[in-house]
Amino acid sequence: MKPKRFDVWLRNISETQEEEISCTECFDLVSRFLEVETSGGHVATELPRVKQHLDQCRACRDEYEMLRDLARLENESRTP
Ligand SMILES: [Zn+2]
């Protein structure tokens, strides 16, 4: 690996960590994330960190998908 490239790689890592949220924060925001998403909002602009975390974290993604499915089931049972 060339030194310069290694530098960029390191910088990328620190930048990612700076923007990363924890699983706890993600869990707190995931219902808001779903709200934005179901109301047709743009989650990538409104909650980019949550989206990023969900893309990276399997545990939170599972949690999100479970909540999303529950919300969908609720909606379906409401509509005749
Ligand atoms: Zn997580």
The per-residue pLDDT for 37 is 92
Contact criterion met (CB below 8 Å) for 29 and 48: no
Residue 64 Cα to ligand 1 midpoint, Å, equals: 10
Ligand 1 ion: Cβ-proximal residues, 5 Å cutoff: 23, 26, 57, 60
Closest CA to 39 of 79, 77, 75: 75
Contact criterion met (CB below 8 Å) for 47 and 32: yes
Could you say which residues of the chain have pLDDT below 50?
none
The per-residue pLDDT for 14 is 54
The per-residue pLDDT for 57 is 95
| Backbone Cα Rg of the chain | 17
The per-residue pLDDT for 1 is 58
Residue 3 Cα to ligand 1 midpoint, Å, equals: 32
Residue 72 Cα to ligand 1 midpoint, Å, equals: 22
Residue 53 Cα to ligand 1 midpoint, Å, equals: 6
Measured between alpha carbons, how far is 75 from 9 in angstroms, rounded to an integer? 45
| Structure token pair of residue 28 | 């707190």
0.75 exceeded by the pTM?
Answer: no
